[in-house]
Amino acid sequence: MTTDRTVNESATTSWIPLLVPAQDYLELAGLVAARQSVRGAAGQLPAVGATVDLASAATPSSRFEAAAAEELAKLRPWDIRDLGRLASSDVVTAQRWARALDVCCAHVGAFLSTEQVAQESGMTVNEWRDAPRKMTRHVDRHYPNAPQWPLCAVSGRTLGRDDQVYWATNAEQAARWAQVRGARLSGSSPEVAAP
């Protein structure tokens, strides 16, 4: 007997974030891509223990998805105090990045086009494009402990999309940003949670 819920679950895929060790990432991303490839063709997964040929499942879309996941895995979250300073900065570059972080954190793990980030943040495309041009110098000067930009930037070609920059954040950075934004709204100072 099949319930409506079972039918709906096999027709769509729900996604959840999963933190994995970096050295296992590519293998697991390939496994997920292969399973999605099989799932897409048949509507359900093969039997438990069945062997899936990863090489034959490496379709162009799965290669792009793997490339996107690989790039996103490189994003190292900022310290919460640095994020707090970014959120409260009166420097135009920092304000633009804060608005972009707000947008990307609403779409954790998804790569958004420059156009979409600009539109959803209320900036013009040129205003948002200007912010990354100035961010490296801004980070070096004001956030010496920051590992890199606070968002992942990837060429559309890498993702198999149109030729513009795409932006994303991971779950850990989004959680820290939400903590900073929540503390800022309540008037308290963001603190690093104990591990």
Over the stretch 153-183, which tens digit does the pLDDT of each residue have? 999 888 888 889 999 999 999 999 999 998 6
Structure tokens at 130: 């200007």
Comparison of pLDDT for 190 and 73, the residue scoring more: 73
Torsion angle of the four alpha carbons 176, 168, 107, 195, in this order, in degrees rounded to the nearest 10: -20
CB 40 within 8 A of CB 136: no
Q: Would you place residue 10 in the very low, low, confident or very high pLDDT band (cuts 50, 70, 90)?
A: very low
* CA gap 172, 178 in Å, rounded: 10
Q: How many CB atoms lie within 10 A of CB 148?
A: 14
Give the model confidence (pLDDT) of 124-159 as tens digits.
999 999 999 999 899 999 998 898 899 999 998 888
* CA gap 103, 114 in Å, rounded: 11
* Domain extent listing, the chain: 20-58, 80-186
Nearest of 175, 5, 174 to residue 100 by alpha carbon? 174
**pLDDT at residue 18, as a whole number:** 75
CB 166 within 8 A of CB 153: yes
- CATH fold label, 80-186: Arc Repressor Mutant, subunit A (1.10.10)
